[in-house]
């Protein structure tokens, strides 16, 4: 392991956790996923996944509104989903690196939408399936949270559209 990359990964993880707690009381507005995405973009697949998993583990377990340790399967789903976002960040480097500004904004927003959809899909299904819900009960559970999922999809799209192109602009200087 490269010490420089490890330190950068720790900084990304700390920033993701800090931003998570900063916006804790604002429903479905989070900057953890964009930070993890940028970690994967900057450091590659291995560190992106590691930052995502570590940041989500610490954030979820230490959350004062309810620890992730209460529902272990949900915690595992959160960790895997966020690690996946870090991995997506590493793969998106080729898509975003040498493109025009407008393309970057649109592509970054689309990636933010897909990352939120990925995360919400996994976390919405992780608990009811592990608790033994039937398929109909699981779908009712998912439908009951559609408003929150929609809000998360929109906010992530906007956040990625602003943050990722700004980050890329800073990198090119």
* CATH value of 3-171 in 1.10.1760.20, 1.20.1730.10, 1.10.760.10, 1.20.1250.20: 1.10.1760.20
pTM value is 0.93
- Cβ-count burial of 1 within 10 angstroms (0-12 exposed, 13-18 middle, 19+ buried)? exposed
Handedness of CA 167, 22, 145, 12 (dihedral sign): positive
pLDDT in the model for residue 46: 96
pLDDT in the model for residue 153: 96
pLDDT in tens, 98-143: 777 888 899 999 999 999 999 999 999 988 888 888 889 988 988 9
Q: How far apart (Å, rounded) are the C-alpha atoms in residues 164 and 20?
A: 17
pLDDT in the model for residue 110: 96
pLDDT in the model for residue 173: 67
The residue extents of the domains of the chain are: 3-171
> Hey, is 31 helix, strand or coil?
coil
pLDDT along the chain (173 residues), means of 10: 92 98 92 98 96 97 89 93 97 81 90 97 89 88 91 96 92 74
Q: How far apart (Å, rounded) are the C-alpha atoms in residues 59 and 139?
A: 27
Q: Given phi > 0 = left and psi -120 to 50 = alpha, else beta, which region is 44?
A: left
């Amino acid at each position: 392991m490269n010490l420089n990359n490890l330190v950068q990964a720790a900084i990304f993880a700390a920033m993701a956790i800090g931003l998570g707690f900063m916006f804790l009381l604002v429903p479905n507005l989070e900057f953890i996923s964009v930070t993890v995405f940028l970690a994967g973009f900057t450091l590659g697949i291995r560190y992106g996944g590691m930052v995502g998993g570590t940041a989500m583990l610490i954030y979820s377990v230490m959350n004062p509104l309810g620890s992730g340790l209460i529902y272990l399967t949900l915690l595992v789903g959160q960790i895997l989903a966020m690690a996946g976002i870090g991995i997506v960040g590493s793969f998106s480097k080729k898509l975003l690196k040498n493109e025009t500004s407008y393309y970057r904004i649109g592509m970054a927003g689309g990636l933010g939408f897909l990352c939120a959809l990925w995360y919400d899909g996994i976390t919405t299904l992780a608990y009811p399936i592990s608790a033994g819900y039937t398929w109909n009960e699981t779908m009712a559970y998912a439908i009951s949270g559609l408003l929150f999922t929609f809000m998360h999809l929109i906010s992530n799209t906007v956040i990625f559209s602003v943050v990722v192109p700004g980050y890329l602009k800073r990198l090119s200087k």
